[in-house]
Amino acid sequence: MADAFVDDPGWRAVGPDDPDKLHRYIRRVCRGILNVVAKRGGRTWHVQRDGAVVGVLASLEPGDWPPPQLPSIVAQALGPVLAGPVVLARSLRGDTAMHKGHPDEEHFFVWMLTVAPSAQRSGVGRALLTTALARADELGVSTYLDTANPDNLPYYASFGFQQTGQTMLPRGAPLWFMFRS
């Protein structure tokens, strides 16, 4: 997961400047997100190729967002805490920015979608997102996600997502809020 996110503008906006430290930071935060999703009863799907995981989508079902603040922060805190006070402060500001876009209505939340660089543009992300959207449709709810990568905007639009807003992450990186009815 960290390999896929290491060049993402959002992760670069909040994480350490050093690429190795950024990779460790992302790995720890993603592990925390997966733990929160598991504890909240959310869904995690993955795709394997040749015995290796090449794609992961982690989601929360309606009513599971937001997770209780303290346990969620603790589960994700190892990466920012170990990266130092500057990264911790940026991470907290980034987390606050991300919370701004969540719709008030019940929704299915695609928290994290990542595909290994070696498997990108091979249908892995499309398969994962199609599966998640089928779950949202089964539940009869809209789907929300956010992205800081402008390259993702047309990709998500191809699934019916529309931009509903934008905010700024630390260091001036834009974060787009996207909703699919």
Residue 81: helix, strand or coil by DSSP? helix
Q: Residue 108: which domain range?
A: 2-180
Q: Using one digit for the tens of pLDDT, what is the confidence trace for 80-97? A: 888 889 999 999 999 999
| pLDDT on residue 71 | 63
Helix (H) or strand (E) holding 32: helix 19-40
Q: Which residue type is seen at 47? A: V
137, 176, 130, 172: which is closest to 153 by C-alpha?
Answer: 176
Main-chain dihedrals φ then ψ at residue 8, nearest 5 degrees: -70, 130
pLDDT of residue 67: 82
* Confidence category of residue 62, pLDDT binned at 50, 70, 90: very high
**Phi and psi dihedrals of 48, rounded to 5?**
-115, 145
pLDDT for the residue 66 = 84
Residue 152, pLDDT > 80, answer yes
In this predicted structure, the answer to whether residue 76 has a pLDDT above a threshold of 80 is: no
Segment 106-147, tens digit of pLDDT: 999 999 999 999 999 999 999 999 999 999 999 999 999 999
Q: Which residues pair with 44 in a beta bridge?
A: 58
How many domains is the chain built from? 1
pLDDT score recorded for residue 79:
81
Q: What pairs with residue 165 in β-bridges? A: 177
Q: Read off the CATH number of the domain in which 167 is found.
A: 3.40.630.30
Mean pLDDT of 45-58: 97
Model pTM?
0.93
Burial 137-161 (b: 16+ CB within 10 A, else e): eeeebbbbbbbbbeebeeebeebeb
Beta strands 162-168; 142-147: pairing state:
unpaired
- The least confident of 3-7, 20-24, 35-39, 156-160 is 35-39
pLDDT attached to residue 75: 67
